[in-house]
Amino acid sequence: MNRIICILIVAIACSQAPAGIQLRVCDPNTLEPIDLTEVMVGTDVSIVIHSDANDLWGGGLFIEGQDRALGQLTARAGDPNSPPFSGSCLPAAGPDAYIYEWKDSNIWGFDCYTDIFERTPGNWFVLDYTALEVGTCTVGFYDHDNSWTAADPNLSIDFLNTPSRDLNNDETVNFADFALFAADWNKQSDPNDPNLMRAADFSKNGHVGLEDVVMFADFWLWGVPGWKPAEEVQPPAEPEIVYDVTYSLVCDPNASPFTDPNTLSDANSLSDITLGIGDSVVIYVDKSSVNNAAVMIFNMDVTISDPNLGSIDSDPNGTAEILVLPRMTAFDSIGPGAQPEGIAFFAANLTPMQDGDMASFVYTASQVGDVTLELVNYSEDPPAILQTMTIRQVQPVVEMLQQAYNESPDLQQTVPQTEWNAFIESVEESTQQ
């Protein structure tokens, strides 16, 4: 795997650090540090040597002894016409800064030297560390100016190499890996038995359980742009793997918050309903499966054909609900979807989800016209439209009758105002029963 993630390492024994020199492990593009305490096997991390001063300097990073089997340091190539590893010499180190590789029977690494005449404070050098095997690998930092008065290495950084959560080796940790993790859930593991060796047993305790859930969550969405450590990860919205399952949009004419149930007399779980202007309806996303298909991820969007005619309450703190059972509520996510006026739902679990109502939302009609709601499945690429619901939005019956009376002089002459008002009152009473 050739992907570099970024972390900030707090060096041990900082009091011994040379003045102005810092070790940072950062994003290779931005060189901005973030917090992380471990590195997955197969992952490269980029170590930056930074200086707050512009003094002439030389030093290096090295791995000694048996730790060389756990981790590896590499320098970056640059322009073919430049000195070797010029890609690891950053501009602040000066135009003639250079790096050379050092290997002997006990220590491997790189020495780094700034330009003799030109240097500026900033990021001077970058080297990459690759986690090769599970274990703790120590990278030693040597400052040659201090080697005469302080023990080498002057600082040491311990990288905790942990098993990769990228179970399908596609350089991201997402729901494709979650599906593989779920397949191993609650199973025994034995690395000495090929039939019982579980990749999801990250803790190596012989059982895929809660410890492994926590370790998996630590690298959730790793490899996705903007990835942050687990405590900063937002609820995921990644594609699911769907089996033999049918999803549909349905509504219940007796569900709150209908303001005029009589306008929804045709809404008995049909995909074509009538709704009065200003009225609202609760719509459900329903799931049914064949042969109890094991679905553990629910990831759906609902879009509106014309947002000018109606609206969906997609506020995460509003009326929309996730109704999936059972589920891990830590993964719940409600909010605007790919279409900002629409709504997106996400839920996940380690055991199969039951059939039935998976989520609900409130739709409100605002103008006369036909609106189509589309249920979109983000488990497929491109996303697949699973089912549509048509909402025929009309003026309330009383308003339609009153408008007809107001616009018809002949009707006004035939039916006096007092009789018409009595008729309208009777219609209003009938629609409220």
Minimum mean pLDDT among 3-7, 162-166, 368-372: which range?
A: 3-7
Q: What is the pLDDT of residue 400?
A: 65
pLDDT digits (tens, 9 = 90+) for 64-103: 999 999 999 999 988 888 888 999 999 999 999 999 998 9
* Residue 359 host element (H or E): strand 356-365
Average per-residue pLDDT for the chain: 79
Query: What are the CA-CA distances from residue 231 to residues 36, 214, 349 (Å)?
Result: 10, 11, 19
> What is the CATH architecture assignment of 4-162?
Sandwich (2.60)
User: Dihedrals φ, ψ of 341, to 5°?
Assistant: -80, -10
106-133 per-residue burial string, b: 16 or more CB within 10 A, e: under 16: ebbbbbbbbbeeebeeebbbbbbbbbbe
Amino acid at 409: P
Does the domain at 245-394 match CATH 2.60.40.680? Answer given as yes
Global pTM reads 0.52
In whole angstroms, give the CA distance from residue 135 to residue 39.
Answer: 10
State yes or no: pLDDT of 223 exceeds 90. no
* pLDDT band at residue 362 under the 50/70/90 scheme: very high
pLDDT digits (tens, 9 = 90+) for 283-315: 999 888 766 566 778 888 999 999 999 999 999
pLDDT digits (tens, 9 = 90+) for 231-279: 544 444 444 443 466 788 887 645 444 434 343 333 345 567 888 788 8
